[in-house]
Amino acid sequence: MEKEKTEGRRSGEELSLARRLARYRESGACPMHMPGHKRNSPFLWMEPLAALDITEIDGFDNLHEARGILREGMERMARVWGSRRSFFLVNGSTCGILAGIASLTRPGDAILMARGCHRSVYHGVELNRLRPVYLWPGIDPETGIQESIRPEQVEQAVEAQPELRLAVLTSPTYEGILSDLPAIREILHRRGIPLLVDEAHGAHLGFSAGFPGGAVQAGADLVVQSLHKTLPSLTQTAAIHVCGDLADPEELERQLSIYETSSPSYLLMASIDSCVRLLEREGGERFAAYEERLARFGEQVRALENLQVLGYGRDSLDRHPGFWKKDPGKLVLLPRQRTQSGAWLMEQLRQRFGIELEMAQEGYALAMTSLCDTEENLNRLAEALKVLDGELEASENSVWKGTSESMRNVQAETWKHHREQEVPPLLLWSWEVLERPGKAVQRQDAVGRVMAEYLWAYPPGIPLAVPGEQVTEAMVARWRQMEQAGVALHTSSGRWKDGQLLCLADTGGKNG
Ligand SMILES: Cc1ncc(COP(=O)(O)O)c(C=O)c1O
């Protein structure tokens, strides 16, 4: 009985895709079709999974022309999230972002986008030859974390650029910071500009009162979510939801047929289907229990003196007015005196406590949680933080005890300075550069040249430099500083590890 409940089976007609695959495996059908492993390949070392791995055979529908079980699954997803229409994605949020941008723009359009967007948004710009107008998020003075995009920024931008055709924002960010999407949508919709939200990190936001609602509830026109990042679903699984009136589901579907594989994995789709069914059936109770576990974690870290967990324990979001709201599921861990880097913290937790974090930046490290985290997981992290906190205490003065104002001022100045260094002169559009010959140069010789590739820290995959931007001395110094703090940088050409950057062969841009 219990087994039936957890697998979501109520009647023969409502078998989940996963159970239908299991039943099909038992039927003994002879597979004279793809995939090539034929469900008979012990050398894959994945027999249980391979046995369920099929293609579009009779009775299993077709993602790109869904009429059966996949269509029912996507309709269920739309009901659960409250969207007009929802689509399963098996190529991650990346393909949803590319298809979404293509569906809402024409080549050459001007678009408004947060400079903190993921690289897939930049690739959408490049592929559609768009002209981006950037919204630079502020930097929280105490932590160095990118703040929310403010509605006033959006208002100013649309006033100044009446020809904007689309706005793309990331909310929440990697660190869990949300922007005021209801207010931003209102500003954009008054001018008929659609809003696409990259909610790769926020698929879980709308299921209980303890989490800030997500972009679907805010009425964004298109919302892209990585189910695999924050919900129980396999890597690569994602969704795109059509919510507002300014998006056209049919054009989106056409673009998905371009950007998404024509051989979608049934394992991935079964995993999406099971995830949606779980949320429909037990989402409320599971999120309530998750919230309680996070609250208990918050109690445990209240004692920390030298480590800080953003918005938890003795910290509160009121201390960071640039954050509109924050996802409580993201645990941003900061050594308070900044004498230690985020990479140090990540390394300590890995080496000494067997805890692997999601990422580290200069000033902080990020632990991601989900409703699948056990109480033991969270206790283990809290206990490890307490041990490290005690060790730091021996040599540091706690900011909670004093000195905080001057410390905060020094930090605020540092981040402001970094931000000024990060805004490079834009000489050409990315797609103009990529049509011209490039030349690999030594990093230090790149100053004054025009970037012909992307440079990013991965994660979070936000470009530090974009093709068409001119490299300044301050930028090179800043990248060096980030690397010294243990942040891993990458370029599209992969030459960074050899000390090189791809720049335009001729140094000149529009001004040069
Ligand atoms: C903000 C953001 N958007 C989009 C993506 C791409 O998501 P996916 O890996 O599911 O394609 C990521 C991945 O890290 C991300 O952080």
| 206-226 average pLDDT score | 96
CATH of 284-400, one of 3.20.20.70, 1.20.1090.10, 3.40.50.10490, 3.90.1150.150: 3.90.1150.150
Confidence of residue 43 (pLDDT cuts 50, 70, 90): confident
| pLDDT, position 410 | 55
Tell how far the Cα of 427 is from the centroid of ligand 1, in angstroms: 27
pLDDT given at position 415: 60
Using CA atoms in the order 304, 305, 306, 310, what is the torsion angle rounded to 10 degrees? 60
Both structure tokens of 151? 């509605």
Res 8 pLDDT > 50: no
Domain with CATH 3.40.640.10 in the chain: 80-281
- Ligand 1 cavity residues, CB under 6 Å: 92-94, 118, 120, 170, 174, 198, 200-201, 226, 238, 459-461
Q: Compare 171 and 481 and report the one with higher pLDDT.
A: 171
Please compute the mean of the pLDDT values over residues 11-35 and round it to a whole number.
87
Residue spans in the chain of domains classed CATH 3.90.100.10: 424-504
pLDDT at 404 over 60: no
Q: Residue 3: what pLDDT?
A: 41
Q: Mean pLDDT over residues 10-24, rounded?
A: 81
Measured distance between the N- and C-terminal CA atoms of the chain, rounded to whole angstroms: 73
Q: Are 172 and 197 in contact (CB under 8 A)?
A: no
Which of 118, 223, 225, 230 should be mutated for ligand 1, with most atoms under 8 A from CB? 118
Distance 228 CA to ligand 1 centre (A): 10
Q: Is the pLDDT of residue 100 over 90?
A: yes
Query: Worst-scoring range by mean pLDDT, 7-21, 57-71, 240-254?
Result: 7-21
Condensed to tens digits (0 to 9), the pLDDT of residues 121-157 reads 999 999 999 999 999 999 998 898 999 999 999 999 9
Q: How far is the CA of 204 from the centre of ligand 1 (A)?
A: 15
In this structure, what token pair is assigned to residue 68?
């059966």
Where in the chain do CATH 3.90.1150.150 domains reside? 284-400
Give the predicted TM-score (pTM) of the model.
Answer: 0.92
Architecture label for domain 424-504: Alpha-Beta Complex (3.90)
**Which ligand 1 atom minimizes the distance to the CA of 229?**
10
* % of the chain surpassing 90 pLDDT: 78
pLDDT bracket for residue 165 (50, 70, 90): very high
CB 334 within 8 A of CB 310: yes
Q: Residue 40: CB partners within 8 Å, gap ≥ 6? A: none
Ligand 1 pocket mutation, candidates 88, 90, 94, 146, criterion most atoms within 8 A of CB: 94
Predicted pLDDT of residue 256: 98
Confidence at 444, pLDDT banded by 50, 70, 90: confident
pLDDT of residue 342: 92
How confident is residue 408, by pLDDT bands cut at 50, 70 and 90?
low
The pLDDT value recorded for residue 177 is 98
d(CA 335, CA 101): 38
- Whole-number average pLDDT of the chain: 90
The DSSP code sequence of 214-227 is -TTTTT-SEEEEEH
CA of 99 to the centre of ligand 1 (A): 14
Is there a contact between 374 and 294 (Cβ–Cβ < 8 Å)? no
Residue 510 pLDDT class (50, 70, 90 cuts): very low
Half-sphere exposure of residue 124: CA atoms within 13 angstroms, side-chain side: 33
Q: What is the mean pLDDT of residues 492-504?
A: 94
Pocket probe for ligand 1: among 90, 98, 119, 120, the residue whose CB has the most ligand atoms within 8 Å is 120
CA of 92 to the centre of ligand 1 (A): 7
Looking at the CA of residue 95, tell me the nearest atom of ligand 1.
11
Place of tokens 């054009």: 251
Residue 416: pLDDT band with limits 50, 70, 90: low
11 C-alpha to center of ligand 1: Å?
Answer: 36
Position 512 scores a pLDDT of 38
User: Three-state SS for 283?
Assistant: helix
Residue 109: predicted pLDDT: 97
pLDDT-derived band at 13, boundaries 50, 70, 90: low
* Pick from 17, 154, 148: nearest CA to 77: 17
Integer Cα distance of 344 and 489 in angstroms: 17
The closest alpha carbon to 208, from 272, 288, 130, 312, belongs to 288
Q: How many CB atoms lie within 10 A of CB 72?
A: 16
Per the DSSP assignment, residues forming a β-bridge with 131 are 110
434's enclosing H/E stretch is: none
Closest CA to 284 of 390, 208, 397: 208
**CATH top-level class for 80-281?**
alpha beta
